[in-house]
Structure 1
């Protein structure tokens, strides 16, 4: 067999193996990534989480910019929510620590070995990353409101989408956060099988659906809420207890309570 034919055969075999990777293989890949995240230092997790909070705020910027220049029509959200995908692209492709990704990553090792040590490690990871994400969002909102970094007409678009997000009740934020948590966890599950170009497309599709559906994402939504806090339109307690914590509970239920649990159930006999 010629070298070219052998190379083609090897390539075909690699493609076949990759495309037919069973769920147990994907589970193992994500579990190992989860174990790596659990073993990272507090400092590494913290600064990666802060960076993610800052970066996810570009979703608010991009969506607000589009809202500022487009007319108010029924079709407008179909365009403005393309901006919502920007922050997720930066965070996920940049491998930053986003809390909603961690509703599945460290949970798979925990399901496999539900020891006290793993519970403590998972709680540590969640606490650090969530707090860091909020600090990043808080810093981004502070700069947006008081830094004078945007023209007034563009900032008006950011305010408009922030006000729309804050209109939901705590019950609505919880309910609307469940499918968002499920979709982000599904995205984490899918990405190991994707090529680089496919990663970009999948991130855009999934996060666009979240934005277009008006679902609540606890981190991206926090920047919008903090913008209103710094402009004096919303109280901090209302933002935290009426919006952020209900969205947090919904994201965790959708990502961990539903998707991660179902994922483990389908592969537990194989692993």
Structure 2
């Protein structure tokens, strides 16, 4: 009798819906944390299984693509150089490359600080750790090659008009002024934000571009450091003799570690921690 009473109460709480209405509810219901985890986890496994050359060329393309952020910033810096809102406007350009790379599903190192880590947290193994190290090494090296090529195209090969290169150089100077500790600290915030974008993507299918623009604009306006986009700035300065190779390596290394700490050490662990009891059932 008690069981029948509970079932009766449950029916009273439920809303009677047709099959079509039930489908509409399912289609529009927000994903819960476990669903988000499962989607990002599966994407990470797929990335780990991709051939080495596919990862490499996708990573090179991502490095070149992310450099459009610096080009767009340089263009806006040049166009609004006399405006009191120059800083606010020019940083909108920073979002361009991220939209291209993330929506285009190119291999960006900082995205992989979350997606490929979740499978390791679920089932830790030496083989999984090796696969992640392999992917990270390939993608990071490919991203660096891509951003360096973009800097060479822009300045050395003069593929970008001189006045726009001046704008790109001007907006790059702030990065070179950071100390190694600042590059690391600001990189933590940036790494956390990029990991958050990866986590939120499945929930915002129809507004991904807006979500990417909002959060990457936050990176730009806050002067946080992103190792891939920032490497384009540093390579551009190196080619012009504004900073040394040693300074560039130090800043890239510090930012890299900061992005990993923010994306893997903070966000990935928090994302896993909130669902671990549920996925173990």
TM-score (norm 1): 0.94
> 5+ residue gaps in structure 2?
1-17
Q: What pairs with 1:185-264 in structure 2 (closer than 5 Å)?
A: 185-196=195-206, 198-241=207-250, 243-264=251-272
SS in 2 for 1:49: helix
Larger Rg: 2
Tell me the number of residue pairs that the alignment of Structure 1 and Structure 2 aligns: 262
CA RMSD of aligned residues (A): 1.2
Displacement of 1:167 in angstroms is 1.1
Residue in structure 1 matching 2:72, options 44, 58, 62: 62
Output the CA distance in 2 between the equivalents of 1:73 and 1:8.
52
Map of 1:82 onto structure 2 = 92
TM-score (norm 2): 0.90
Map of 1:12 onto structure 2 = 25
Map of 1:172 onto structure 2 = 182
Cα deviation code 1:170-224 (max 9, x no counterpart): 111001100000000011000011123x101100000000000000000000000
Displacement of 1:151 in angstroms is 2.1
Output the CA distance in 2 between the equivalents of 1:29 and 1:137.
29
Cα deviation code 1:1-25 (max 9, x no counterpart): xxxx753442233212xx1x22111
Q: What pairs with 1:61-140 in structure 2 (closer than 5 Å)?
A: 61-71=71-81, 75-140=85-150
Partners of 2:153 and 2:160 within 8 A in 1: no
Residue in structure 2 matching 1:151, options 132, 157, 161: 161
Output the CA distance in 1 between the equivalents of 2:26 and 2:124.
37
> 5+ residue gaps in structure 1?
none
SS in 2 for 1:84: helix
